[in-house]
Amino acid sequence: MADTLQFDLVAPERRLASYAATEVQIPGAGGDMTAMAGHAPTITTLRPGILRVVHNGETDEYVVSGGFAEITDDGVTVLAEQSLPRAEMTQDVYDDMMVEFRQQYEKAKSNFENEPGPVDDAAKLIADMVAVGTHIGLDPKQSNFG
């Protein structure tokens, strides 16, 4: 079938998934994009979000926290720093990730007092994570966050 592309999801420690897919929806840093066979070769960074892979009429969902994706006309390789199948994303795991992002944010705030760039970036990461949490029905516990 010419209308499938090879989908690989690779984490630093192991290969998480590798199969043929018909479409891959990628949470790109500049906005979501969907890759299908014949896509122009593209490299994009990821924001925290949900990666959807459609194959054989089914949709697999993975939560990714960042990384980048390499799209060629016959394949998509996602190199994610942290990624989990959506089913394994429990409140505990999510809480841990949120704590980490908030620490980064606090640190960015103290390190770069007069440079808004890194602070805004860190704030955006948190906002993205909160959006992911709300989307899949986990509590981002915003109230603990000043």
Partner 1 sequence: MPNLKDLKNRISSVKSTRKITQAMQMVAAAKLRRAQDAAEAARPYAERFNAVLAGLASGVGDSETAPKLLAGTGSDDVHLLVVMTAERGLCGGFNSNIARLARVHAKKLQAGGKTVKILTVGKKGRSALKRDLGDHFVGHVDMSDVKRMSYADAQGIAKDVLERFDAGDFDIATIFFSRFENVVTQHPTAQQIIPAQFEEGDADDATLYDYEPGEEEILADLLPRGVATQIFAALLENAASEQGARQSAMDNATRNAGDMIDDLTIEYNRSRQAVITNELIEIISGAEAL
Between residues 43 and 56, which has the closer beta carbon with respect to partner 1?
A: 43
Residue (of 92, 95, 97) closest to 80 by Cα position: 97
Residue (of 51, 65, 137) closest to 98 by Cα position: 65
Verify binding: residue 6, partner 1, rule CB under 8 A: no
**DSSP characters over 84-143:** EEGGG--HHHHHHHHHHHHHHHHHHHHH-TT-HHHHHHHHHHHHHHHHHHHHTT----GG
- Tell the smallest beta-carbon distance from residue 29 to partner 1 (Å): 6
- Tell the smallest beta-carbon distance from residue 67 to partner 1 (Å): 8
Q: State the binding string over 15-54 for partner 1 (x if CB under 8 A, else -).
A: x------------xxx--x------xxxxxx---------
Between residues 58 and 113, which has the closer beta carbon with respect to partner 1?
A: 113
Q: Are 78 and 33 in contact (CB under 8 A)?
A: no
Report how far residue 95's alpha carbon sits from residue 117's, in angstroms, rounded to the nearest whole number.
25
- Tell the smallest beta-carbon distance from residue 35 to partner 1 (Å): 12
Verify binding: residue 81, partner 1, rule CB under 8 A: yes
Verify binding: residue 93, partner 1, rule CB under 8 A: no
Q: Are 139 and 133 in contact (CB under 8 A)?
A: yes
- Tell the smallest beta-carbon distance from residue 14 to partner 1 (Å): 4
Report the interface residues with partner 1, using CB under 8 A.
8, 10-15, 28-30, 33, 40-45, 67-68, 70, 72, 77, 79, 81
